């Protein structure tokens, strides 16, 4: 039942790669999808902090370079 719900909501092509990698075992493919989703979720905070720090660094350097905060 879990597999049919995942496949219906997320699309057959998306879920097919998980099924293929898990030798047609629906329960393992569903677990792999959830594991992948949780792994991706763990990186969101890291990428958020990196993006803000990079953007702030660029803003700071361009402000110094052009001598004004509204360098854009």
Dihedral sign for Cα 34, 39, 42, 43, please.
negative
How far apart CA 15 and CA 6 sit, in angstroms, is 8
Q: What is the pTM of this model?
A: 0.69
**Low-confidence residues in the chain, pLDDT < 70:** 1
Tokens 């792999």 sit on residue: 32
Q: Could you give the dihedral angle defined by the CA atoms of residues 34, 38, 39 and 43, in that order, rounded to the nearest 10 degrees?
A: 150
- What's residue 13's pLDDT? 96
Tell me what the pLDDT averaged over the chain comes to: 95
Q: In whole angstroms, what is the distance from residue 2 CA to residue 26 CA?
A: 9
DSSP state of 24: T
């Amino acid at each position: 039942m879990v597999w049919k719900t995942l496949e219906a909501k997320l699309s057959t092509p998306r879920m097919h790669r998980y099924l293929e990698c898990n030798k047609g075992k629906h329960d393992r493919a569903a677990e792999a999808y959830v594991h992948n989703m949780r792994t991706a979720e763990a990186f969101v905070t890291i990428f958020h902090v990196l993006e803000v720090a990079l953007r702030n660094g660029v803003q700071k350097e361009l402000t110094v370079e052009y001598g004004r905060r509204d360098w854009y």
